[in-house]
Amino acid sequence: MSLEIARLFLGLLLAALHRPIADFIFEREHSLVLASRQRGIPLPRVPKSETFRTIYFSIGIFIVVVQMLRIYQVTH
């Protein structure tokens, strides 16, 4: 039960902090794509930062919903 609650808070934390996490990942991926292109490796464009934010927020909310369902199942 405590593991489910910890995961629930992890999902809430991810949903709450999705913008700084997504911006950090966006910067890293952008620099990785630029470095690869300079070495002659063609890679597709990096998605927009808003796409990264939406993905991380969605993952956080998905974790919250799954853990709420698990807590409900354990208690009933």
Q: Which strand (E) or helix (H) includes residue 73?
A: helix 49-75
Look at the chain and count its residues: 76
**In whole angstroms, what is the distance from residue 22 CA to residue 28 CA?**
10
Answer whether 49's CB lies under 8 Å from 22's CB: yes
Reported as a single tens digit per residue, the pLDDT across 10-44 is: 999 999 999 999 999 999 999 999 999 999 998 88
Read off the pTM: 0.80
Domain boundaries, the chain: 2-75
